[in-house]
Amino acid sequence: MLKKTFTVMCIFIGCFSFNTLAAKSRPLLDIVDVLGVRENQLVGYGLVVGLPGSGDKAQIKFSAQSLSNMLKQFGVTMDETTLPKSKNIAAVAVHATLPAMASPGQAIDITVNSLGDAKSLHGGSLMLTPLKGVDGKVYALAQGNLVVGGINASGQNGSSVTINVPTSGIIPGGGIIERNVSDMFKVQPDVVLNLKEPNYQTARNVVKAVNQVFGPGVARAHNWGRLVLSAPIDANSRNTFMSMLQDIVVEEGSEQPRVIFNSRTGTVVMNDVVRVNRAAVSHGNLTITIAESEGASQPGAFSNGRTVPLQASAVDVNEQKNHMVLLPEGTSLEVIVKAINTLGATPSELMSILLALDKAGALEAELLVI
């Protein structure tokens, strides 16, 4: 028997009017990035040693080559045609984040990830590894014992159990900064602020708030996302200037209402300023099930007849009876979610309803599909 199921979703929309959005106030330095004050990414390649037989296998040539090169640095010479074989080592990628305004001698956290086919890095130690920036210069050195949150256990017959990720670990404070990053913040004649969410109203409010504290002409808007502030050159005075900026509270411009839909996972996220105009929504599932069966008509004995194949189909139609929900003008996020949940809609069906609301002109939000 073969069954075919068709699902049809019905949505009926009626719409009318408009709503307003409220602004909120936040500390100035929470909504901007200061030009020249930034983190930098570091990366390196190293060896983890001391693994209890859970390291790279013999076919991973680069880990054996790395071990050979390291041994040469300590005066241990080997046959050039033969690479050492050891299951107690693993080639790893090492990366870290260099904080803004960091100084030599400071410790930073290190993340280590296996590059080969090692089963686990548990119990291993990272050998001294230089960490380089995008310019190819060494900015930190990393070394230490790994903290691994995953576990891997295997039996002799090939069965195994893995919990979390045993091929990745961290070394808290395992990196030591060796070089300063050139301080662009100090050499800039002005302090430049970049809004994290560009907005004309927010830019205007920042200029107004800064000039109220420091006087007219100190702050000016270069565009809707960049603000330029006249600041003292002296390092101590500039630090005082930045501390005063921290105390300034700015009213943000109207937040852009957004609905974000992840088409791969079916996740729907809406911010709290999403509103709908007056609308009526009805959602229902119409399920059509077709069951097909095959049979045969057999002729009587000694009748010289032929067997004739027969096909039979059974069609069943089932429609859910859901009531229409009326959404008043200016309906909030909470009311939208509760109303659509009463219709029994799944996240994918919720997105279809929101798309229909948008097409009908009833949804006051930007729809983003990722």
What average pLDDT does range 135-162 have in this prediction? 80
Output the pTM of the full model: 0.63
Residue of 81, 57, 59 whose CA lies nearest to 68: 81
CA–CA dist 356, 10 (Å, integer):
10
Q: Is residue 96 part of a domain?
A: yes
Q: Is residue 51 part of a domain?
A: yes
Strongest mean pLDDT among 149-153, 197-201, 311-315: 197-201
* % of residues, the chain, pLDDT over 90: 25
Q: Is residue 25 part of a domain?
A: no
What average pLDDT does range 218-222 have in this prediction? 91
Residue whose structure tokens are 């708030």: 209
Residue of 101, 1, 89, 97 whose CA lies nearest to 46: 89
Residues 246 and 266 in one domain: no
pLDDT in tens, 37-63: 888 999 999 999 999 888 888 778 888
Residues 63 and 151 in one domain: yes
Kindly state the helix (H) or strand (E) to which residue 358 belongs, with its residue range: helix 347-359
Q: Is residue 183 part of a domain?
A: no
Q: What is the mean pLDDT of the chain?
A: 77
Residues 324 and 346 in one domain: yes
pLDDT at 294 over 50: yes
pLDDT at 72 over 50: yes
Contacts with 302 (C-beta within 8 Å, 6 or more apart), sequence order: none
CB 287 within 8 A of CB 319: yes
Residues 97 and 55 in one domain: yes
* Cα four-point dihedral sign 221, 227, 228, 234: positive
pLDDT at 93 over 50: yes
**Predicted local confidence at residue 209, as pLDDT:** 93
Q: Is residue 299 part of a domain?
A: yes
**Predicted local confidence at residue 324, as pLDDT:** 54
pLDDT at 69 over 90: no
CA–CA dist 111, 146 (Å, integer):
9
CB 211 within 8 A of CB 219: yes
Residues 130 and 244 in one domain: no
Residues 230 and 322 in one domain: no
**Predicted local confidence at residue 302, as pLDDT:** 63
* The token pair that represents 59 in the structure block: 């076919």
The domain of 96 spans 40-177
Total number of domains in the chain? 3
pLDDT at 11 over 60: no
Band the pLDDT of 173: cuts 50, 70, 90: very high
Backbone angles phi, psi at 208, to 5 degrees: -65, -45
Select from 236, 251, 266 the last residue of a domain.
Answer: 251
Select from 227, 251, 275 the last residue of a domain.
Answer: 251
* Cα four-point dihedral sign 143, 145, 148, 153: positive
Select from 177, 198, 213 the last residue of a domain.
Answer: 177
pLDDT in tens, 229-259: 998 888 888 889 989 998 899 988 777 777 7
Band the pLDDT of 357: cuts 50, 70, 90: confident
**Predicted local confidence at residue 334, as pLDDT:** 64
CB 50 within 8 A of CB 90: no
Residues 202 and 158 in one domain: no
Residues 68 and 121 in one domain: yes
Residues 167 and 275 in one domain: no
Residues 212 and 96 in one domain: no
Residues 69 and 139 in one domain: yes
Q: Is residue 35 part of a domain?
A: no
